[in-house]
Structure 1
Amino acid sequence: MSGNTLGGGAAEPMPEGWGSNSNRPRVGRVGDWNNAGGSGSNSRSGSGARIATFRDLVSGGGGGPAGPPPPHSHDDDDDEEDERRPEEYFAGGERSGVAITNPDQGGGPGGLVRNLLEQAQRGGVYNPPEPRGPQYFSGGGHALGSDEVESRYIPDPNASEEPEEEEAVRHLHLWREGFSVEDGPLMRYDDPENQHILEQIHAGRAPPSIMNVRYNQPVQLVIAKRTNEDYQPPQRTGPAAHFSGSGNRLGAPAPDVASSSAPMPGSFPGSSSSPPATREPESMNTRFEVDQSKPTTSVQVRLADGTRIVARVNLTHTVGDLRNFINASRPGMTARAYTIGTTFPNRTLEDDKQSIEAAGLKNSVVVQRWADA
């Protein structure tokens, strides 16, 4: 059988037996039927793959022997991407369907950490919010009324029904062996509870146990990739030392003065006193004791330096005893002359021998003033 080409020239002769029917089974490679009529030994002795793909047909010109497929540089990238992407199964009919992700693939803490980093990379770089400008007053108010019209409250017309939750910013550090939130402790990846926490974060939920946020409060999560570093505890400068020591209860008897050689006037009998450090003026050696079997009262003394002291005295004590109480409480004030007096009415207590009851100082307030002021 022969024919002509499109250009009008003679075509190559067709193989022998091309148009005849043959009951022999044809054996050969896909795309190469020229060896079909040959012996079985020739077909078996041919080099190359016995089964070719459609890609080989395209690369081989459609009818020639199958050759090696051309290299494709993007195949490796596709394979890596397919390895990272979890397997998905699809099921359904003509109008509905469902996609199921293989839960056994890509699991474990390594996959969760990789997915978190990919989500953070897609989210972009975190930019802290700009400081707000000056805010003006807004809100409701009260309209003053009169004898005929009652006062009423006017709500804010621009107020929202639900207050906006302030967005919290939390920092998640991903270390080599675990993760930490802010300056918290290390939470290892191999702990099942910590894996559950990572799964919650990956699902878009903020566990209040480690995030320290309110329920339904929006959270901006900043992820720091430190997977090539071991966990480093935060360096703390040390919190300020808490107060420790003794103190005085309000309303209690005034404490003893360390520099006084005698118990402070106004203290209860039997109270301990510190050893004398220096010899005080003779006026400070005057002492008195409070007799609990007799009527007592409290006198508040407002000192000239702005501080206040309370003296517990009997009604039989005198103004001079009260002055000695001030001198014992503030030894440095004895070098400067001062006066003491009441406020309502405003009068100066000049008679040191006058009793507390006679001076009208029962449960009263006495003010100290500098004489040269």
Structure 2
Amino acid sequence: MREADKLDNMKSQDRVFRSGGQGGQRRRCDSFVNSLFEEAENAGALTASPEDNDSNADVIIKMWKNGFTINDGNLRDYSGAENCYFMDSVRKGELPEELQKTFQKEEISVNFEDRKSEDCSYRKPQINPFSGLGHRLGSATPKIITKDSEKCNELILPVVDLNNLEPLTTIKIWMADGKRIVQKFNISHRISDVRHFLERIPSKSEKVPFIFATSFPLCEIMDETVTIQEANLQKSVLVQKLLKCTETFGKS
């Protein structure tokens, strides 16, 4: 399909948000967002890898029933011309030009949240949630990134034994309670070692069984015996996904 055809198809899907009954609008919105996720996942993750690998940024795109937001910024209409080009890049697994200009010298991790069953009711000024200061205690102790560090009690963080003679990598962990942790591991560490690290961090969900998943495309990690290198998870984002009480929790 030609690029113009893809764009025309996207615009025609966007237009349905402005007309029709609420039930039809909801079904078309679900179809649009599901299609977007599927096409983007097939194309691959949206990442950029410049030379400065130590500098990175998270971009969270929330797909709402009535539009989408970037890093909790202003609500943007799916049907806007500029937004249409943005979403077309997402469909193809490409990094939108808008994000390239905003994060010129940073490695970008683009992650999606499916909120298509909800209306976004707030419109607040764009802020940069990554401009605050983190806290690094020692070379092997992770950095905690919080939206409001002044109101967040400092955690007791475990220490990871690192072998400086072996290659190191940085793993970003999104905890189920909203906290974000950046931790260094050897690439020979297993996913089970990452689990052991996370289980030693006090949290409200510490006794709830969980699995790990990659951020985007969302993919559950079922085999925790593999190493970070074998799973190709260097410099990746891992999401702690809590299991429901009715689900069977299999040990690795």
Alignment TM-score, normalising by the size of structure 2: 0.36
The structure whose Rg is larger is: 1
- Which structure dedicates a bigger proportion of its chain to strand? 2
- Which structure dedicates a bigger proportion of its chain to helix? 2
